[in-house]
Amino acid sequence: MFRLDNKKAVITGGGSGIGKSISKLFALEGAAVHILEVNSESAHEAAEEIKKSGGAVIVHKCNVAEQKEMKNIFENIGPIQILVNNAGIAHVGKADTTNEKDFDKVISVNIKGVYNCIHAAIPQLRKAGGGCIINMASVAAQVGIPDRFAYSTAKGAVMAMTLSVAKDYLLENIRCNSISPARVHTPFVDGFLKNNYPGKEEEMFEKLSKTQPIGRMGTPDEIAALALYLCSDEASFITGCDYLIDGGFVKLNN
């Protein structure tokens, strides 16, 4: 079950964190993986790990916020069956403490980047006879989280885009769903704690972990497993859905 043999998968931000886990798992399950990544060093490291495991992978250094760049890359890749819109950036700030430059940057990557990839991918999904799009949303789109104004705004838009795309391409055999993680232990989290809480990393890690009712953060591999299911033929009856993977954060935090 859940094999991706003879399928071509494009994964944005596939060189690190959640994206890296998705890239590795999809390749392990038989997909030909194309990693789209602004950080070529991390992307090539991920690709080497995939190749050592016998997987097929190609790296494309790019910026998802640049539409022309995305169109060229997707045209060169050709027909695809899977797109995972995972690339994104975080931001800390309230409405009155978020400056315009930072707001525009978050919107450019987290909203326009998703749009650019969907816009470029649809013709290639059509050529393949259909397929699946996964957008990485967040619990921040569904509940109020302190100091995440721009990020929450962007992830709310991603959820709305997911519904729109699912509706518009129902009859073309193109499914679209989103995944909404809570806190996941990635290198970003470690860097955030090191930069903002020097000397108190362990204490703050424990505190952040316990904001999930289940008592810990998620792992990138757990998110990847959900993405694999949603992109597999076994999930062919699922479209227009958002999947919380949050240790009870949204429904049980009361």
Residue 191 has pLDDT above 90, yes or no: no
Q: Copy the structure tokens of residue 205.
A: 């890690």
Closest CA to 184 of 98, 97, 254, 86: 86
Q: What is the CATH number of domain 8-182+220-246?
A: 3.40.50.720
pLDDT in tens, 209-223: 999 999 999 999 999
Average pLDDT over residues 170-176: 98
Strands 242-245 and 8-12: unpaired
pLDDT in tens, 223-249: 999 999 999 999 999 999 999 999 999
Q: Copy the structure tokens of residue 70.
A: 């995305």
Domains of the chain by residue range:
8-182+220-246, 184-217
List residues with catalytic annotation: 151
pTM value is 0.96
Share of the chain above pLDDT 90, in %: 94
pLDDT in tens, 38-79: 999 999 999 999 999 999 999 999 999 999 999 999 999 999
Residue 254: pLDDT band with limits 50, 70, 90: low
- The torsion angles phi and psi of 181, rounded to 5 degrees, stand at -80, 155
Query: What is the rounded CA–CA span in Å between residue 15 and residue 49?
Result: 11
Q: How many CB atoms lie within 10 A of CB 48?
A: 12
